[in-house]
């Protein structure tokens, strides 16, 4: 749960005109942004691996993300998160509890998975970025781009993106936390333009009558 709260909430772009930005990286990210925003929906399956050598910690989790515009559903680390554009429900089946939150679109995100729909557009604001060159990722040709957040108070200090330039798709990103934890998120499956009903992005209390609803709204 601690790791879920630290993250929750995986991909991403940056459009600042600062002279410190790398134009070669921006070209790749701009193309990625255009391709991603053209999809009506996205379904992604992913694997996240967290390693902290100093504490001898290594954890691996599978996850699924459904996205339709600003709406999303995230199944990750024993919790299912629903967001319908205004309210967020975090359902924990193991304890039969669901927490309900109001979400302000202007709220800053401290972690990538605070807003998992940004997994594919993280680079768009709040970062400096650098083109690091071409490399291989799981046998595929990818471009490595480094993102550094402009907000130095965040709990991470760097993100590395690995982009399949031929498909304009993010294959993976690596998240560098200040506590020494390194989290690598790998996209195992990426499907687009799948029909999704709006109702799937809100928690259905009638389908889970025994779940305790805790209203966290002000």
In sequence order, the 6+-apart residues with CB closer than 8 A to the CB of 86 are 102, 103
Q: What is the mean pLDDT of residues 211-218?
A: 89
pLDDT score of 111 more than 70: no
Q: What is the mean pLDDT of residues 30-56?
A: 91
Which residue, 126, 181, 130, 180, is CA-closest to 151?
Answer: 126
Looking at residues 16-37, what average pLDDT do you find? 75
- The average pLDDT across 16-45 equals 80
Query: What would the pLDDT profile of 127-138 be if each residue is shown by its tens digit?
Result: 889 999 999 988
Q: Which residues contact 17 (CB under 8 A, 6 or more apart)?
A: none
Pairing relationship of beta strands 212-215 and 97-102 according to DSSP bridges? parallel
Q: What is the pTM of this model?
A: 0.81
If pLDDT is split at 50, 70 and 90, which confidence band does 2 have?
very low
pLDDT at 15: 29
pLDDT digit string (tens) for 158-203? 999 999 988 889 999 898 999 999 999 999 999 999 999 999 999 9
Q: Tens digits of per-residue pLDDT, 134-168?
A: 999 888 899 999 999 888 888 889 999 999 988 88
Class of residue 166 by CB neighbours under 10 A (exposed 0-12, middle 13-18, buried 19+): exposed
Domains of the chain: 2-201 (2.50.20.10)
Q: What pLDDT score was predicted for residue 5? A: 38
For the chain, give the mean pLDDT.
84
The mean pLDDT of 82-103, rounded to a whole number, is 93
pLDDT of residue 123: 72
Nearest CA-CA partner of 46 in 71, 9, 13:
9
* pLDDT in the model for residue 201: 96
pLDDT of the residue at 167:
84
Q: Which helix (H) or strand (E) holds 183?
A: strand 182-192
């Amino acid at each position: 749960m601690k790791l879920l709260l630290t993250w929750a909430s995986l991909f991403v772009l940056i459009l600042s005109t600062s002279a410190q930005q790398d134009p070669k990286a921006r070209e790749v990210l701009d193309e990625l942004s255009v391709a991603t925003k053209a999809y009506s929906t996205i379904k992604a399956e992913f694997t996240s691996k967290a390693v902290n050598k100093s504490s001898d910690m290594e954890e691996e989790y599978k996850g699924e993300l459904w996205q339709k515009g600003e709406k999303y559903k995230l199944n990750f680390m024993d919790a299912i998160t629903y967001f319908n554009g205004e309210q967020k429900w975090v359902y924990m089946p193991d304890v039969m509890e669901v927490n309900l939150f109001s979400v302000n679109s202007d709220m800053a995100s401290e972690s990538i998975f605070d807003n998992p729909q940004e997994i594919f557009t993280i680079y768009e604001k709040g970062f400096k970025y650098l083109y690091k060159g071409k490399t291989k990722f799981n046998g595929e040709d990818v471009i490595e781009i480094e993102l550094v957040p402009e907000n130095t108070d965040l709990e991470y200090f760097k993100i590395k993106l690995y982009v399949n330039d031929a498909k304009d798709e993010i294959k993976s990103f690596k998240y560098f936390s200040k506590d020494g934890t390194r989290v690598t998120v790998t996209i195992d499956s990426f499907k687009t333009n799948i029909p999704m009903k709006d109702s799937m992005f809100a928690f259905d209390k009638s389908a889970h009558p025994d779940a305790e609803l805790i209203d966290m709204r002000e």
